[in-house]
Chains A and B, each alone.
Chain A
Amino acid sequence: MQIRPILATLKHHKAGTLLIALQIALTLAIVCNALFIIHQRLAHLSQPTGLDESHLLVIQNQWANKPTKGDISSLLADDLATLRKVPGVANAYATDGYPLSSGGITYGIGHSPDKLNFVSNTAIYFADENALPTLGLKLVAGRNFRSDEIGEIGGRDKIAPQVLIITSELARRLFPGESAVGKMAYVSDKPSIIIGVVERMQTPYVDSAMAQWSDCSTLMPFHQLVTPTNYVVRAQPGQLDDVAKRVRAALYAANRLRVISPEDGVKTFAQVRAQAYKSDRGMAILMASISVILLAITAAGIVGLTSFWVGQRRKQIGVRRALGATRHDILSYFLTENLLIGVGGVLLGGVLALGLNLWLMKQFEMARLAPGYVLAGVVTLLLLGQCAVLAPALRASNVPPVEATRSV
């Protein structure tokens, strides 16, 4: 290996060497953290809701003539009957909210009516006996709501359900190591009996503030008599697109005094998910774009500097060839030179990456950067450097030995 003479040569080309090493270092620092953010965002946006999303669509219905609570009760019943008759519809129910809807009610739930002494936050979803089969939720303990348990509730009514269905995560927090079924919990000043536990149901919120409660949801047996109303519809297998086209017409045919937005009044759950995680996906794309641009600029910098050095040292290369260097020797000289600059860059870059991560942790509550990302960044940048230097290094290896005898 020719490491010592290469280092000696680099000492005489400090500016170019330092610039490229610094460029590699900064790229590594940014790309490591960007990859980490991308991975976190991708993990976030692929988090399961617990719902059978591929068969679901949601409809937001706004009544046009300001109906009373009594009117809404019968309108809801009529709409649900209408929806269930639409060809391809397997089931439907009305609710205030659903996972990833980015809006809804959140309560504290605990073992006493003391609101300050709750065990966990929980998202509240109003549901009936059709909610579980419609959403495809998996009941892991207890039972579903019965139709005789479903009450009606207005926008300003006090919420005091007699029975609840909760998620297994919420059950674990409320009653660790025990079965929650049959036990009492408080979401109001009156106790509610937990009659069932579903495996998973995500809250409506996807932001990091709700991350620690993201699987703590509670289903309450109510039809909410307010407008707008959300209908969740389950389509039979393979019928989702057709059902999405039919439901609007069916509802308008049943009652024209309503507004269902032509833009987003009817959405498949895939659209709900895409909208909920729009910022995560946007951030991942932005980070990926920045990473690609930085890597491309770094590669271009390496190609440019090495090409310049090859041109500058053409005579030297000829002399080395005349003194016995093979083409492979010249190729490996430039590859080794780049590797040494790269190693210097990634060592500095590794420190900068951790520093940047500490700053992001402090400023934006980002998680600690896993060492694997730094390692992946190091390998990526060293390989990128070797690939970038290959073309100019091959050009250098083709300098003929007779170049040594030519005057500049």
Chain B
Amino acid sequence: MLKMTHLSKVYRTEVVETYALRDFNIDVKEGEFVAVTGPSGSGKTTFLTIAGLLETFTGGEYHLDGMEVSQLNDNARSKIRNEKIGFIFQAFNLIPDLNVFDNVEVPLRYRGMKTPERKERIMNALERVGLASRAKHYPAELSGGQQQRVAIARALAGSPRLLLADEPTGNLDTQMARGVLELLEEIHREGATIVMVTHDPELAARAQRNVHIIDGQVVDLAEDPRFHTAYTAAAGQVRG
């Protein structure tokens, strides 16, 4: 589903080159639930933005659903984002001026879908996250957990092949976070491929597989006790 090979991302200024990702390799199979962990600044978010075609990369290869994406133009990348990828952001990223129904509708409108089909998909997605009765509410009228559920409904409505979640429970209290996580697990059980970036090792433990990033590279913690120690310490700071 998602395969990056020797991928690199370099941010260049006049005086310095910074590698956000270096010789980065990952292979996520269809139907997997992968948690991507790592300390702050390790390159987790850069990985997610490249995986979601929000940003381009500097070198290497990236195959998404079997398609090499490095040469795609902006319109083609938009189309893939719209049709194949669902995003769940830490800050929910709902549009405050639109009600729940209209928020879920946003990606479907860009797909040029007819109104009856849009409406059916939106209501199905809202029922799926238990918020069908809140369709006319505005984001400001919902709790954080409910807002994230709306964001998940927005991501699900387009039936994406891949769900990318960036710290989906980062802005939620424990109870709300648990609810959102259970929803993601349920979606995964129904066959969705999910890649979730998180600081939280407890959350990561609920995923099928963990991928750890340090200094822009995927590392195997089980085989490198140095990194394991460093990572555990960092994770402890985050939790503390």
Decide whether A and B are members of one complex.
Answer: yes
Q: Which A residues from 270 to 318 make CB contacts under 8 A with B?
A: 315-316
Pick the contact of A402 from B55, B83, B105 — CB < 8 Å? B55
A322, B54: Cβ atoms under 8 Å? yes
A208 close to chain B: CB less than 8 A: no
B98, A325: Cβ atoms under 8 Å? no
Q: Which A residues from 349 to 408 make CB contacts under 8 A with B?
A: 400-402, 404-405, 407
B36 to chain A, nearest CB (A): 14
B102, A405: Cβ atoms under 8 Å? no
B102, A5: Cβ atoms under 8 Å? yes
A12 close to chain B: CB less than 8 A: yes
A321 close to chain B: CB less than 8 A: yes
A329 close to chain B: CB less than 8 A: yes
Among A316, A327, A402, the one with the most B-chain Cβ atoms within 10 Å of its Cβ is A402
Taking CB atoms, residues of chain A closer than 8 Å to B98 are 5, 8-9
Interface residues on B, range: 20 to 34
Taking CB atoms, residues of chain A closer than 8 Å to B158 are 324
B78, A2: Cβ atoms under 8 Å? no
Taking CB atoms, residues of chain B closer than 8 Å to A11 are 97
B47 to chain A, nearest CB (A): 11
Taking CB atoms, residues of chain A closer than 8 Å to B177 are none
In the bound complex, CA of A316 to CA of B158 (Å): 19
Chain A's closest residue to B111 (CB) is: A324
A116 close to chain B: CB less than 8 A: no
B154 close to chain A: CB less than 8 A: yes
A326 close to chain B: CB less than 8 A: yes
A322, B106: Cβ atoms under 8 Å? no
Given known A-B contacts A8-B102, A405-B166, A323 and B97 have beta carbons under 8 A apart = no
A132 close to chain B: CB less than 8 A: no
Pick the contact of A5 from B53, B87, B105, B154 — CB < 8 Å? B105
B85 to chain A, nearest CB (A): 9
Among B75, B87, B105, the one with the most A-chain Cβ atoms within 10 Å of its Cβ is B87
In the bound complex, CA of A400 to CA of B105 (Å): 21
B57 to chain A, nearest CB (A): 12
A326, B74: Cβ atoms under 8 Å? yes
In the bound complex, CA of A328 to CA of B75 (Å): 9
B49, A324: Cβ atoms under 8 Å? no
Taking CB atoms, residues of chain A closer than 8 Å to B124 are none
Taking CB atoms, residues of chain B closer than 8 Å to A321 are 54, 78
Pick the contact of A326 from B78, B95, B106 — CB < 8 Å? B78
Task: Give A1-22 as 1s and 0s: 1 = Cβ < 8 Å from B's Cβ atoms.
Answer: 0101100110111000000000
A327, B102: Cβ atoms under 8 Å? no
A8 to chain B, nearest CB (A): 6
In the bound complex, CA of A11 to CA of B99 (Å): 12
Pick the contact of A401 from B81, B102, B111 — CB < 8 Å? B81
Among A5, A323, A328, A407, the one with the most B-chain Cβ atoms within 10 Å of its Cβ is A323
A407, B91: Cβ atoms under 8 Å? yes
B55, A322: Cβ atoms under 8 Å? no
In the bound complex, CA of A402 to CA of B106 (Å): 17
B109, A5: Cβ atoms under 8 Å? yes
In the bound complex, CA of A9 to CA of B96 (Å): 9
A44 close to chain B: CB less than 8 A: no
B93 close to chain A: CB less than 8 A: yes
Taking CB atoms, residues of chain B closer than 8 Å to A402 are 49, 54-55
In the bound complex, CA of A315 to CA of B55 (Å): 15
A260 close to chain B: CB less than 8 A: no
A403 to chain B, nearest CB (A): 9
B110, A327: Cβ atoms under 8 Å? no
Taking CB atoms, residues of chain B closer than 8 Å to A407 are 91
Pick the contact of B78 from A4, A5, A324, A405 — CB < 8 Å? A324
A404, B87: Cβ atoms under 8 Å? yes
Chain A's closest residue to B91 (CB) is: A407
Pick the contact of B95 from A13, A319, A328 — CB < 8 Å? A319
A319, B110: Cβ atoms under 8 Å? no
A327, B93: Cβ atoms under 8 Å? no
Q: Which A residues from 35 to 82 make CB contacts under 8 A with B?
A: none
In the bound complex, CA of A11 to CA of B107 (Å): 21
B105, A325: Cβ atoms under 8 Å? no
Taking CB atoms, residues of chain B closer than 8 Å to A327 are 74-75
B54, A12: Cβ atoms under 8 Å? no
In the bound complex, CA of A131 to CA of B49 (Å): 90
Task: Give B101-143 as 1s and 0s: 1 = Cβ < 8 Å from A's Cβ atoms.
Answer: 0100111011100000000000000000000000000000000
Chain B's closest residue to A1 (CB) is: B109
Chain A's closest residue to B84 (CB) is: A324
A316, B95: Cβ atoms under 8 Å? yes
Given known A-B contacts A5-B102, A324-B79, A329-B110, A12 and B97 have beta carbons under 8 A apart = yes
Chain B's closest residue to A316 (CB) is: B95
In the bound complex, CA of A9 to CA of B95 (Å): 9
Taking CB atoms, residues of chain A closer than 8 Å to B109 are 2, 5
B87, A323: Cβ atoms under 8 Å? yes
Given known A-B contacts A320-B106, A321-B78, A400 and B55 have beta carbons under 8 A apart = yes
Taking CB atoms, residues of chain A closer than 8 Å to B45 are 405
A405, B97: Cβ atoms under 8 Å? no
B89 close to chain A: CB less than 8 A: yes
Taking CB atoms, residues of chain A closer than 8 Å to B55 are 400-402
Q: List 11 A-B contacts (CB under 8 A).
A: A9-B95, A320-B110, A321-B78, A323-B106, A324-B78, A324-B83, A324-B110, A327-B74, A328-B75, A401-B53, A405-B89
In the complex, the 8 A-B pairs of residues with the closest C-beta atoms, listed nearest first = A324-B82, A323-B107, A12-B97, A324-B110, A9-B97, A402-B54, A401-B54, A326-B78
Given A5-B109, A11-B97, A315-B93, 15 more contacts at CB 8 Å? A5-B105, A9-B95, A9-B98, A316-B95, A321-B54, A322-B52, A322-B54, A322-B87, A324-B78, A326-B75, A326-B78, A326-B79, A327-B75, A329-B110, A401-B54
